Amino acid sequence: MGAGSTLPYRLRPNKAVDRELFLSLLTRLAPRLGLEGYHYVGLGGPFLEDFRLIHARLGITRMTCIETEEQVHKRQLFNRPVASIECIHNSLEDYLDQTDLDAPAIIWFDYTEPKGITAQVERFARTVGSVQIGSILRVTLNANPGALGRPVGNLSEADLMEWRLQAFQRRLGGLFPNGLTADGMTQKSFGRSLLLALKLAVEKEVLSFPDRRVVWTLATHYADGQAMVTAALVVCAKGDKSVDELVEGWEFYATADAPHRVDLPSLSTLERLTMESDNDAKAKMDFELPTSDMGENPFDTFKKFYRIYPHFSRVEL
């Protein structure tokens, strides 16, 4: 588990919004797919907050938390919020290889380290063919273009982007998206480039399984210090279009081709209340909010996600 994954959500507002988007998606799919009977498999960190919310929102009781670090695993056993959560000291990949999933599952692959990105993408894609139809797969990938490396010497920005493009192509091999240019190697655009490679890997895998198809449902690109992308899909029966109709009418529907950029500003309580209650909050506040390397307008982004903007407060116990 990367160091970033141990940070509390109050220090990662964009991550918190990303999680709420996924929970909103599951809530929308729950009546159609009967998610309360699914098996949820993922990485919970030391506090298993995702598992608590999955259980509270959807009623899922069959849950398995996987952890490779022994001390984190011990903390999970101590902090387990729901008795039905099974905590296993293993890697997610080994667990899936050793386990026969006899029911549809929700599986969250959470990769915070940029090393091995090709293997991570390929593993996610292979899982499309090994799970039960109706399963929901989600992946988080590190989208920091700096992880591609940097050549020795001083290069212009254009030459650096071209160098990164070639490094990305070498790393991905046959999963390199056609038509991708050096413009896709910037901090703002690299997340989408990575998602296009993920989509290509999944499309190639699905060709081997004539009984199924995938429906992309949610994709995000965000940064709380470290740039990340996520993507979620539903494995559907070949002729079943019911999930398409359900998610395409959802206000937060987003595919790997056009992910949401979750780039929310840090706000005081007064700023948040003003932006929620005033249609022209920028004029009323009469100052600019800071922007990140992702380049999104903070007022527009807040307006898009204000209903799920996280609120944190201190509670004395």
Element spanning 95, H or E: helix 92-98
Mean pLDDT of 180-186: 96
Amino acid at 179: G
DSSP string spanning 145-184? GGGG---SS---HHHHHHHHHHHHHHHHGGGSPTT--GGG
Under 8 Å between Cβ of 180 and 165: yes
Edge-first strand order for the sheet with 212-224 is 85-89, 62-67, 39-42, 105-110, 136-142, 226-237, 212-224, 260-262
Which position has the token pair 């220090």?
11
CA dist 99 and 90 (Å) reads 12
Q: Is the dihedral of CA 179, 183, 188, 194 positive or negative?
A: positive
pTM > 0.85: yes or no: yes
C-alpha to C-alpha distances, 210 to 207, 217, 239, nearest whole angstrom? 7, 21, 10
pLDDT digits (tens, 9 = 90+) for 186-245: 999 999 999 999 999 999 999 999 999 999 999 999 988 789 999 999 999 999 999 999
pLDDT digits (tens, 9 = 90+) for 258-270: 999 999 888 888 9
Instruction: List the single range of 9-13, 220-224, 309-313 with lowest mean pLDDT.
Output: 9-13
